Homo-oligomer: A and B are copies of this chain.
Amino acid sequence: MAHHVNFCVLFFATAVHLVQTVPRIVDLSYKQNRDSVTWPSNPSYNFTQLFRGYSETYKLWLENNHFAMPEHMGTHIDAPVHTVKGMWRTDQIPMENLYGAGVIINVKSKAATNPDYRVTVDDLLMWEEKYGEMPRRAVAIMNSGWSSKYPNKTLVFGSPEPTDISTLHFPSWHEDAVTWLINKRQINAVGVDTPSTDYGMSSTYPCHTLLGKNSVVGIENVANLDNVPESGSTIYIPVLNIADGSGGPARVFATYDDEPNKTNAAAMVTCFTFYLYILAAVLVCYVM
């Protein structure tokens, strides 16, 4: 019996250890510079050195710069008010709406053959088949493989004339999938690794309207999605808190436990084995 108890203690200790894995952090944002991608009609990025050199005033080395940019540039968010009157401006979005469980929808193979691809409800159901039902208040982001094209504007916008918005070809979300995420899974934020939550060919922007009307944050030009697991991460969207803003640049990042699926599976096996040992102990006691 003492043998059984030792095993129980060992397994319990292992289970606690597995739950306490150290998280990893992954940057999902592009650098801001003169190449940063923005919607064709927007002004460009500006960076000015205010001082760079030895400062006689402060008696030390000094670097100090100034920058200017449109809110919707590089890795950034759309506040709900961006396309729907009266909804949240940037500084009205609660912190609780700026993070959630990471749900990465991988449509790279589909987008590789069809630059006008839109994520469908079926893509979401396939994700759930693999990883289980999405947690509520998640952050769902399309990984179309478009980051390999960033920041080349001709490639990112899929057009030799990216200033003509009737010629754009890049993938994004289908409005039915966005509706499903809102109604069935109470989604917190919906993102893309392309320049818009509506696909390049759209002229009616139904996803923007759906997201705005339902107070869901949009995230555009997300980087580095291959380096975060499709399930099991937490994604943060810490947007610059621009008063009266319609969006703003965000240093989007993910945290996750190293090999979370393996860890969860191992923890489950441990717990199950533990319960079996308890059961065995009961039986032994009754037999005795």
A residues neighboring B (CB under 8 Å): 1-2, 5, 8-9, 12, 15-16, 19-20, 25-27, 29-33, 42-43, 46-47, 50, 58-72, 79, 81-85, 89, 91, 95-96, 98-99, 204-205, 208-209, 236, 238-246, 249-251, 253, 271, 274-275, 278-279, 281-282, 284-286, 288
Task: Looking at the assembled complex, report how far the CB atom of A203 sits from the nearest CB atom of chain B, in whole angstroms.
Answer: 8
> Contact at A68–B68, with CB atoms within 8 Å?
yes
> Contact at A65–B61, with CB atoms within 8 Å?
no
A61-B84, A63-B82 as given contacts; A240 in contact with B240, CB under 8 Å = yes
Q: Which residue of B lies closest to A99 (CB)?
A: B25
- Which applies to chain A's interface (DSSP): helix, strand, loop or mixed? mixed
A62 to B81 Cα, complex, angstroms: 8
> Contact at A58–B249, with CB atoms within 8 Å?
no
When the two chains form the complex, which single residue of B5, B91, B242 contacts A278, counting CB atoms closer than 8 Å? B5
Pairs across A and B, CB under 8 Å, 19 listed: A25-B99, A26-B95, A32-B242, A32-B243, A46-B68, A58-B205, A61-B83, A62-B82, A63-B79, A63-B83, A64-B71, A64-B72, A65-B242, A68-B69, A240-B240, A281-B281, A284-B285, A285-B288, A288-B288
Residues of B within 8 A of A58 (CB): 83, 205
A65 to B209 Cα, complex, angstroms: 19
A9-B278, A281-B5 as given contacts; A29 in contact with B242, CB under 8 Å = no
A271 to B168 Cα, complex, angstroms: 60
Residues of B within 8 A of A81 (CB): 63
When the two chains form the complex, which single residue of B16, B61, B238, B242 contacts A67, counting CB atoms closer than 8 Å? B242
A12 to B95 Cα, complex, angstroms: 33
Task: Looking at the assembled complex, report how far the CB atom of A258 sits from the nearest CB atom of chain B, in whole angstroms.
Answer: 13
Residues of B within 8 A of A26 (CB): 95
Residues of B within 8 A of A243 (CB): 31-33, 47
A9 to B211 Cα, complex, angstroms: 44
A70-B64, A238-B251, A278-B9 as given contacts; A1 in contact with B286, CB under 8 Å = yes
Task: Looking at the assembled complex, report how far the CB atom of A275 sits from the nearest CB atom of chain B, in whole angstroms.
Answer: 7
When the two chains form the complex, which single residue of B42, B91, B204, B279 contacts A31, counting CB atoms closer than 8 Å? B91
> Contact at B65–A66, with CB atoms within 8 Å?
no
A145 to B9 Cα, complex, angstroms: 46
